Amino acid sequence: MDTVVRVKKSLKTPIRKLSSCVSGLKDGKSGSKRRSSRSRRGAGGRAGTRKVPQTRDQPVIRSYQADLDKERQLREATNAQKNAERAAMRAHFRRKYQLSENSKDTNHLRSVGGKVLLPGDLSRIIHPDGSKDDGFDLLAAFRGLGFGRGFTVKKDKRDKEHSRLRLQEGTRQSWTRQQRLRTMRRIRASGSVALGVKRGFCVAAAVEDGKVKVGDVRKGRVRSFQEIPHTGRSGWVNLLRFWREDRFRQLHKHMERTFSALGPIYRENVGTLSSVNILLPADVAELFQSEGLHPRRMTLQPWATHREIRQHSKGVFLKNGEEWRSDRLQLNKEVMMSGAVQRFLPLLDEVARDFCRMLQVRVEKEGRSLTMDPSPDLFRFALEASCHVIYGERIGLFSSSPSLESQKFIWAVERMLTTTPPLLYLPPRLLLCLSAPLWTQHATAWDHIFSHAEARIQRGYQRLASSQGGGFVAGAAGGQYPGVLGQLMEKGQLSLDLIKANITELMAGGVDTTAVPLQFALFELGRNPEVQEKVRQQVRTSWAQAGGDPQKALQGAPLLKGTIKEVLRLYPVGITVQRYPVKDIVLQNYHIPAGTMVQACLYPMGRSSEVFEDPLRFDPTRWSSGREEGRRAEGSGFRSLAFGFGARQCVGRRIAENEMQLFLMHMLLSFHLSISSSEDLKTTVTLILQPETPPRITFSRLSGAPI
């Protein structure tokens, strides 16, 4: 009996400690409550005067407490090990599928010292080849050193800082569950992909051209955004350097030199503008896959500011979001769909034929050949063709004395394009307040463009109203095509202000962007007579078989389209295509946060030996279907982006492509082209790429040429 009492007394203190753990009250507090309750019973009460006896078996108590502590520590260690194993597995698959890191997993791994020895069943998932697991290293998980054996990590100050930045970025830019599931589905749909481990580095999975490819991705580590090579952190210092070295005019060459020095991706800050610039088609493919339902490209803020201060509506070029999509769908029906192309193709063919007749007359006056700078005539051709398609009327620019109004329009477009690039890097409203000459010139040019467009729109409106007695019915003007303007007015899906805004943008973007590539095309065909003759033979055969149908003639001469693509590869109108990804992406193993402006640099891409074989050779056959399929099989798509890609590609693409092809078709049927010097053209950038000095072309009349 004494033994039982002694055991009970010895267990009283540990039991009281366990009770306090459950209740959350400390021993002192619990005791004070008991003493208070006893004191309230009365000073003479038995409970108030009772003294708790001291136990005499202290060694037994200490042994019991030690056993409890050991059991608690073992339990906590077991839980920590299991949590760390799960964290290791999650970190493994995050790196495999290039997902963001997780701070909780980082803490779990740190709690066990950063080293986890995975059980056999989990290890076999990571190492299906049966290789021995040497443990999971925290630094390897979050710094990309994989599960390889024998790795020693130097914990220098720089790596610690990079690790801290990556953890912050991973927490701030973590993917949602839905995005992860979409990524997993895309990876599964692309075929079987295995992630293995080699001695010395981790083999990671990367998405290229919509497919998952396996390779050594910089030792498996996704680097932070701050680690992307850059041209300088201060945008204002870079802006001053651009001004001093006149880099705006040679921006395409600056990009080419920078890619050569820094690699296929770099960051650049210039004034208020920041961007990530990329070169390789695989990276461009990944960028376009993340553009979202409403793709965004760089807003030309000087243009947008002009619309706001003049209270003009914005067209699709300056809009974003659902408003952009709604307007764009309406425009696509009139300028992009195959039915629309069939309607305006005869108008473009008519203008191209008239231009060749005009040139034939001038050549005949000079004898059998004429050497000249064709650029002024090409600008008139582009404006005449654009007006015929957009307004449904000719403006007589091929006459001996073109109108002063048209000449002013061409001048205004050139001035607008020239003044845009410098204004991109400065706040336009600040320049407006300062009445800066650069802004004044830019705004005046736009005012001329809008004035020209408004006069044409009013004329078109009156013409259609009178022909239909005030009502608009499809097939106006006696069944003749009324132009894009007439079609939009007839359908009434867009307000008159929106029609005016979009028609003005189409006109402003449809002159220089067509006339300048035609200069380059005539030059390249002139200095490559073998290519010229090959294309001419195909054109002649196709023209004879088409029986005068321009659409059939173009379909039968794919080298014409190849010629245009080759010209735009070497001399892209716009030297970049921009997008803002709607989700985090990985390019060249660097983390790119959502919302970052990423630019695909077309001029360096078109002349890169990593993208094109013998890139400086003018070869339209490189775009033939057979060779292109072979290139696509190698994952090298997205190489021809002069008109952009996807839902936000150039809205006037079909007009421009067919206009240039029909022009070259009739030129090759009528003339032999030659140049006096085969030296490369020096080029400069306004908003578009153009020659510093327009090339002089010799046009020689071909015998039997159509008139």
Give the contacts of 659 (CB within 8 A, at least 6 positions apart).
Answer: 348, 352, 382, 385, 389, 514
Residue 470 confidence (pLDDT) above 50: no
Enter the tokens of residue 96.
């495999």
Q: Give SS3 for 257.
A: helix
Q: 231-245, 343-357, 553-567, 606-620: which has the minimum mean pLDDT? A: 231-245
Does 202 belong to an annotated binding site? no
pLDDT for res 117: 72
pLDDT for res 601: 96
Q: How far apart are CA 67 and CA 65, in angstroms?
A: 5
User: What average pLDDT does range 641-667 have in this prediction?
Assistant: 94
Buried b / exposed e over 38-77, threshold 16 CB at 10 Å, is: eeeeeeeeeeeeeeeeeeeeeeebeeeeeeeeeeeeeeee
User: What average pLDDT does range 456-465 have in this prediction?
Assistant: 82
More confident residue, 141 or 651: 651
More confident residue, 246 or 444: 444
More confident residue, 337 or 103: 337
Enter the tokens of residue 78.
């077991």
Residue 196 confidence (pLDDT) above 60: no
pLDDT (tens digit, 9 = 90+) per residue, 36-56? 444 444 444 444 444 444 545
pLDDT (tens digit, 9 = 90+) per residue, 72-101? 888 888 888 888 888 887 777 666 555 666
User: What average pLDDT does range 478-487 have in this prediction?
Assistant: 81
Give the contacts of 398 (CB within 8 A, at least 6 positions apart).
Answer: 354, 355, 358, 380, 384
pLDDT for res 83: 84
pLDDT (tens digit, 9 = 90+) per residue, 678-704? 899 999 998 899 999 999 999 999 877
Chain-wide mean pLDDT for the chain? Answer: 78
pLDDT (tens digit, 9 = 90+) per residue, 242-298? 888 888 899 999 999 999 999 999 999 998 889 999 999 999 999 999 999 999 988
Beta-sheet pairing, 204-208 with 201-202: unpaired
pLDDT for res 14: 55
Superfamily of domain 304-393+403-468+481-488+495-517+569-619+683-701: Cytochrome P450 (1.10.630.10)
pLDDT (tens digit, 9 = 90+) per residue, 536-552? 999 999 999 998 899 99
pLDDT for res 367: 83
More confident residue, 588 or 214: 588
Confidence grade of residue 190 (pLDDT, cut at 50, 70, 90)? very low
Cα four-point dihedral sign 83, 85, 91, 94:
negative
The three-state DSSP-derived secondary structure of 112-158 is CCCEECCCHHHHHHHCCCCCCCCCEEHHHHHHCCCCCCCCCCCCCHH
User: What average pLDDT does range 630-644 have in this prediction?
Assistant: 71
User: What average pLDDT does range 551-570 have in this prediction?
Assistant: 95
Distance of alpha carbon 693 from the chain centroid: 32
Residue 568 confidence (pLDDT) above 80: yes
Task: Domain ranges for the chain, please list them.
Answer: 2-87, 98-222, 304-393+403-468+481-488+495-517+569-619+683-701
pLDDT for res 9: 60
